[in-house]
Amino acid sequence: MAGARILVVDDDKKIVDLVALYLKRDGYQVLVAYDGPQALALTRQEQPDLIILDLMLPGMDGLSLCRTLRAEGNRVPIIMLTARTLEEDKLIGLDLGADDYVTKPFSPRELMARVRAVLRRIGEEKEEPAELRYGDLVVDLMRHEVKVRGRPVSLTVREFQLLRTLVAQPGRAFTRQELLDKAFGLGYEGLERTVDVHIMNLRRKIEPDPARPTYIQTVQGVGYKTAEHPHVP
């Protein structure tokens, strides 16, 4: 997305200036904020295409800002940029709806690659239909809702992303790493077996018989897929 507007939020002016410099070199328009309330106001007013967001902010921390935006229905892509390195912190941010997570100290060139990857993925998603249908499953991409045989099912952000990925390409086998990238962002460094846990929980919610799944199939030695032609129980 050439010319995309990106909001950089950090209370360290040197970091803001460095990130803004690299973004402008890549042809992006840059907005800046140095605290949470200013970032929230700018996001509401300017509707940026992406936010690079520090977690430790005065006034309102990054997690609270992310939570507020998602509660308002704002789906702006967010890359979290923080010195927090614990996996628990990463998972909290991702579960709140962040699209990627970069830890400090960071490589500006790597951050630019993450920016391009997130914007590219968002551009691809905008070309998708409003909803995906697979057998008795309906995945509403606009409302982030899923129905199974007409019954609403509550999914986490990660479960929704996994189901969306699998249903969008029936018959294609995805490796666990590919599914991790789709559901957790390219920067996630957790174990690939994390996917197995989310798939197990997803099956419990959507499969008529989770012990004998009909929607999400295991591909031995590879990962998971949905059948090319769904079998409706």
- The reported pLDDT for the residue numbered 93 is 66
> By mean pLDDT, which of 72-86, 96-110, 120-134 is the weakest?
120-134
Name residue, tokens 């904020």: 33
Q: What is the pLDDT of residue 121?
A: 79
Buried b (16+ CB within 10 A) or exposed e, 117-147: bbbebbeeeeeeeeebebbbbbbebeebebb
Q: What pLDDT does 128 receive? A: 59
Confidence of residue 25 (pLDDT cuts 50, 70, 90): very high
Mean pLDDT of 113-133: 79
pLDDT at 72: 85
pLDDT at 218: 93
CA–CA distances in Å: residue 61 to residues 49, 53, 100, 168, 201: 20, 10, 17, 35, 30
- CATH numbers and ranges of domains, the chain: 5-126 (3.40.50.2300), 131-226 (1.10.10.10)
Write the DSSP symbol of residue 102.
E
Whether pLDDT at 87 is above 90: no
pLDDT per position as a tens digit, 42-55: 999 999 999 999 98
